[in-house]
Amino acid sequence: MSLVHGDPLDFSGLFKLDVLVQIDVATYSFYEVGLKKFFAFSSGKELIFIYINPQTGRAEKNYDWDFLDNPIYCMCFEPSGTWVLMISEQKVLLVPFLPLFVPQNAFDHKWSLSSVTVLPLGSIAEATSVVFWLTKESENVVIIGSKTGAITFYSLESQSIVGECKVAGVITDLQICYDDSLDLLTLLVSSTKCHHWKLVLEHRSFGYNWLQQTRAQNDKDKKDSFMSYIRQLSKDKITLLIQGGSKDDNKAQTVEYVLKPTDYLPMFRQGSNNWALTAQYVNGRHFLTAFELNEGTMILESPEEDTPSRTLRPKIKKDGQYIQGLWSQRIIYLLRKNELEIHSSCFSIIQGEGLLGTKRDFTLLWSAELIGDIIQAHLMSTKEPPPAITGWQQPTFMCDLQIPRFNLEPCLIVTTHGAYVLSTMCEPCEWLVGLIMRGCTGAEQSAAGMGAPVGPLLRAAADMLMSRGNVAPAQYLFSLSQSPSDGWVARLGVFGRIQEITHYKPTSNLGSLGNTAVTIKLLAFLIQMRVREDKKFDKSIKFTMLNTVELQELTSFAAAIGLWDLVPAFSIQRGHPNLLLVAIKSRKDICRGALNILLTYQCLVPLLLEENGQWLFDYITDKCDQFDTIILKVYD
């Protein structure tokens, strides 16, 4: 696990990668019901079931299985999670899963709860993928993909094959994609070399069902009645004429579907066919995530729509090692051959400069290497964040903070040698507040990377610092939270620098330190002088060895915090009067201390004349009615 070199952000304190199971994975299945998670892993030698309930924790069962007589080609879970369905040699096996872990519950007794149910399948080519289709009419249909490209529809009720179709090539994956907004159920078929097909199974609002239409078209006895409400366009294409179902119920809608799988490459993805497609369910919404493996473009889409709902472009390596991309609201998971990358969704937006008006040249937040080659990854559901506490109260712990909380969806990564779960060590918002409190570099960038509002985080950090007695930094952060967002990056960066150098403690005497350590020590002195009146600058410190860059740092910092009496010590007295002018020009307004220095040190006059110091004289003329008599006498 590592942070990419050159990346200014460090998320190693937030993300963690846990081992779920260590096994040589030949086939597997993952399923969720709410927050309950179901896992089945097969290596060809052992079969492992894992059940995770947030209330009772994790339970694991090493299932006794005869792989010689019942080889497992592929498997999936039944929609309730009660059984795991396996495709074996000429048979379908229904293995009780949930009764192994929750025996006291009452289950729907469709099949045996204590032993394996064996259903005859017949002779089909070796299966590579299987999905479960529970139709609107509650018919249990298993869809099986094979190495020959054949797709078989098998009914568990009739124990027979009820439909077939075919694609060109070896089927590597079948996915069910359900579009909530369209009430549309689509079968997504993936083959080698990133070739994809789609087959519309159901459009429930229009009463369309692929099985019913296929049966009706093939049933000659029903052909006359079928043609009375369906006009056949071709051998493989039908059109449904639906009355209503739109905003204007008086208008007829025409819905056209193909009864065979069709190449799936929408117009907005025509530039490349090197896409990895994943059906996702995030934040109560089903959609497809299409990830272009070479350029890194990520598109959220519906199989029925002609325009993408969102397009992102995380910055990726151009080495052709990517295999999958997953989107969540705040972060993007990208899978390489044996590596997981976490990118910022906010930083991956194509249009616009991004948050705080700064253009990002990176999107990667964190990465981790895994053991084995990655097979596939899945987003996992997470609990909703707790509701906000009403009414302010002084925080004692991070959980007391009143901040807009959110959770990041965990990610399951399955490799050839096991399964891993990527999650967070704590709540992201609490971690961000901790960054701000400690003055860590890039705190505001880290918040922007996860789309977290900086203002409430600043107020929460101020509350926590105040409760711990750190009044000065608490007041600074609170005042910063009340200011406009412009300048948060710079001002929080200054706060982080101040926090770091005030805690600086040298391990030896000052004379033996290098230039950088001497500069840090002097900066710490300046801060202590600014916040504590009893602190005096030690003029015996020898800093003649400091170079121009370090002297400019000290000069600008002393000017920024108003220690004008010390500004000449780091510039004019070191033989670099130009550093003082640079420090003054960096300020928007010339304060009394800066003006007094300009009029006191005559060595600055040649520099002002050399670089056209008319700006200074114009400023004095314009502000002369606001100066006190001391300044005016010096000017005269």
How many CB atoms within 10 Å of residue 6? 8
Q: Are 323 and 276 in contact (CB under 8 A)?
A: yes
Q: Which of 292-296, 510-514, 593-597 has the highest mean pLDDT?
A: 292-296
Q: Please classify residue 354 by burial: count the beta carbons closer than 10 Å to its beta carbon, then call 0-12 exposed, 13-18 middle and 19+ buried.
A: middle
Q: Specify the pLDDT at position 252.
A: 45
pLDDT-based confidence at residue 386 (cuts at 50, 70, 90): low
3 state DSSP class of 465: helix
Q: How confident is the model at residue 599 (pLDDT cuts 50, 70, 90)?
A: low
Q: For residues 174 and 274, what is the distance between their CA atoms, to the nearest angstrom?
A: 18
Lowest pLDDT segment from 34-48, 134-148, 529-543, 619-633:
619-633
In this prediction, residue 2 carries a pLDDT of 41
pLDDT in tens, 176-192: 988 766 688 899 999 98
Which whole number is the average pLDDT over 345-355?
68
Q: What is the CATH number assigned to the segment(s) 15-300+329-341+370-379? A: 2.130.10
Q: Alpha-carbon dihedral of residues 536, 540, 541, 546, nearest 10 degrees?
A: 120
The residue that leads in pLDDT, 267 or 71, is 71
| Structure-token match 């039908």, residue found | 238
Q: What is the predicted pLDDT for the residue at 404?
A: 80
Q: What is the dihedral of CA 528, 530, 535, 541, to 10 degrees?
A: 70
Beta-carbon neighbour count of residue 92 at 10 Å?
20
Q: State the average pLDDT over residues 92-106.
A: 88
Q: Which of 553, 548, 496 is nearest to 521 (CA)?
A: 553
pLDDT at 137: 86
- pLDDT at res. 620: 64
| pLDDT value for 275 | 93
State the average pLDDT over residues 274-280.
92
Position 463 confidence tier, pLDDT thresholds 50, 70, 90: confident
Query: Which SS3 state, helix, strand or coil, does residue 156 take?
Result: coil
244, 250, 252, 255: CA torsion to nearest 10? -30
Whole-number pLDDT of residue 27: 96
User: Would you state the pLDDT for residue 60?
Assistant: 96
Output the pLDDT for position 141.
95
User: In the structure encoding, which two tokens stand for residue 610, read together?
Assistant: 């050399």
pLDDT at 544: 63
Alpha carbon of 628 to those of 394, 614, 620, 622, 636: distances in Å?
A: 46, 22, 12, 14, 13
pLDDT, position 454 = 83
Tell me the pLDDT band of 3, cut-offs 50, 70 and 90. Answer: very low
Q: What is the predicted pLDDT for the residue at 485?
A: 63
Say what the pLDDT of residue 467 is. Answer: 84
| Separation of alpha carbons 152 and 161, rounded Å | 7
Task: Check residue 392 and give its pLDDT.
Answer: 56
- pLDDT at res. 233: 44
Predicted structure pTM score: 0.74
Task: Give the pLDDT confidence score for residue 312 in this predicted structure.
Answer: 92
pLDDT of residue 506 exceeding 70: no
Three-class secondary structure of residue 279 per DSSP: strand
**pLDDT score of 564:** 77
C-beta of residue 152 within 8 angstroms of C-beta of residue 123: no
**Which pLDDT belongs to residue 508?**
47
Higher pLDDT, 72 or 114: 72
Q: What is the mean pLDDT of residues 606-616?
A: 65
358 pLDDT tier (thresholds 50, 70, 90): very low
Q: Does the pLDDT at position 156 exceed 80?
A: yes
Task: Locate CATH 2.130.10 in the chain.
Answer: 15-300+329-341+370-379
> Considering the chain, what is the average pLDDT of its residues?
79
